Every structure is written in structure tokens, then in C-alpha cells.
Amino acid sequence: MENENFFQKVYRITKLIPYGKVTSYGAIATYLGAGKSARMVGWAMNASHNLEDVPAHRVVNRKGLLTGKHHFDGTNLMQQLLENEGIVIVDYQIQNLERVFWDPSKELESFY
């Protein structure tokens, strides 16, 4: 939809992340054609605080580090949510990232 903001596009993709999977800010940005606007994706997550449908905890940076952790309530909510989905996290970093990584540009056909 041409009227949709970049943020809304980000939300739409984020909602598509399967249970037990994660993706990176850059992957989402690339999929949206924004390419180098990975930082914006993070900012969109910050704005998505209010929206319950956006699983922002499934979005991490490209190393698998939970950089956005402090933006969640409490201290380890983000980690708890991910671990609850079967993702192993050590020292705020996702283990076996390759196995749980979900790349929208590869897993999805283009359809936004």
C-alpha cells in the first residue's frame, strides 16, 4: 500500500515472523527495499511498544544480540519470551543463530 508508512511495513513483516524464529533489523530493511535503513527498523520497534501484535522480541541485530532488551518491561522479558519459544540465549546472545534465523527476503515471496 503506497499510503503505508515505513513503520507499518516493518510491523507487517515483523508479524509474519514464525514462532520460534528470529530475524534481523537489516533483513527486514532489505526486504522492504530500504536497504540501509536498518536503524529505522529498530526505531519502528520502539514505536511498536503500544501495538500488541508486533513480536518485537523476535527481532535482533545481525549478530543475534538482544540489543533491544532494555526497551522491554523488566530486565529479561525479551529473553524470557524467546526462550519460551525454544530459542537458546546465553549472555543476551542467541545461540545457533543460523538455525533459528528467518530471512524474509528468502522465506517470503515479495508481497507487500
Partner DNA sequence: AGTGTGACACTGG
Partner DNA sequence: TCCAGTGCCACAC
> Rule CB under 7 A: which residues touch DNA?
5-7, 24-27, 29, 34-43, 45-49, 56-57, 59, 61-64, 67-68, 71-72, 78, 93, 97
Min CB(111)–DNA separation in Å: 20
Closer of 20 and 34 to DNA (Cβ): 34
User: Closest CB to DNA among 3 and 110?
Assistant: 3
Kindly state the smallest distance separating residue 102's Cβ from DNA, in Å.
13
Find the shortest distance in angstroms from Cβ 109 to DNA.
Answer: 22
Please, which residue, 20 or 97, has the CB nearer to DNA? 97
Q: Rounded to whole angstroms, how far apart are CA atoms 97 and 104?
A: 15
What is d(CA 30, CA 54) in angstroms, rounded to the nearest whole number?
A: 19
| 23 beta partners | 59
Q: Cα 28–74–96 angle (5° rounding)?
A: 45
Q: Which is nearer to DNA, 93 or 105 (CB)?
A: 93
Q: How far is CA 61 from CA 3, 4, 40, 97, in A?
A: 28, 24, 12, 11
